[in-house]
Amino acid sequence: MDLLNEIKRVIEVEAASIKALSEQIGPSFTEALALLAECKGKVIVSGVGKSGHIGKKMAASLASTGTPAFFVHSTEGLHGDLGMIQKEDVVILISNSGETSEVLGLLPSLLKIGCKTIAITSRIDSSLSQFCDVALTYQYTSEADHLGLAPTTSSTVTLVIGDALAVALSMSKSFKKEDFHLYHPGGSLGKKLSSQ
């Protein structure tokens, strides 16, 4: 077995999914950006498993580019962390299938809280898509692992959607290098910005 060829294959499968994603962008993304831009509170991202890990990165990217945001694990949300969410907030819910029980378990409380919701999922007909104010959906041919099961392609596509939203939102807010430096004073980036 040539494992180097397998590595290349995985990269090619994921790269193709990202290229295909760029052709799937439509009005729902404009609607999601409008909700996020009009948000008077915070943006909360939630998910479990690999979607949760991607959600943490998404929240961190939003926060560092000018949008107050944080991550709430869906399971923790069901055990009290929903108290962090208020009516003025926008909640981004991530589930590849759109049927993740822990994520769906948040929906009744979010409805009562009255916050806006955005789904990121591969299924427009899913329970999550049907509930949320806006559903950002994506399609992909297969996961990239040799079994076609591990969240690989799907998590990469979700990560790219999060990056795209964060960058577009930051541009809409006229976020500048000085603002980025305010939120990111440390590390190599902070040092570089300090010297400019």
Predicted local distance difference test score (pLDDT) of residue 187:
79
Predicted local distance difference test score (pLDDT) of residue 150:
95
CB 50 within 8 A of CB 155: yes
Q: Residue type for 158, please?
A: T
Predicted local distance difference test score (pLDDT) of residue 176:
76
CA distances from 94 to 4, 12, 43, 85, 154 (A): 32, 24, 13, 16, 11
Predicted local distance difference test score (pLDDT) of residue 179:
64
H or E, element range at 46: strand 43-46
* Domain chopping of the chain, boundaries: 22-194
Predicted local distance difference test score (pLDDT) of residue 173:
86
Residues 22-194, CATH architecture: 3-Layer(aba) Sandwich (3.40)
With the CA atoms of 105, 107, 109 and 112 taken in that order, what torsion angle do they form, in degrees rounded to the nearest 10?
Answer: -160
Q: Tell me how far apart the alpha carbons of residues 186 and 117 are, in angstroms, rounded to a whole number.
A: 33
Predicted local distance difference test score (pLDDT) of residue 25:
95
Q: Per this entry, what is the length of the chain? A: 196
Closest CA to 155 of 71, 61, 54, 18: 54
Compute mean pLDDT per 10 residues along the chain, 196 residues long, and list them.
Answer: 92 96 96 97 98 98 94 98 98 98 98 98 97 97 94 97 96 78 75 72
pTM: 0.93
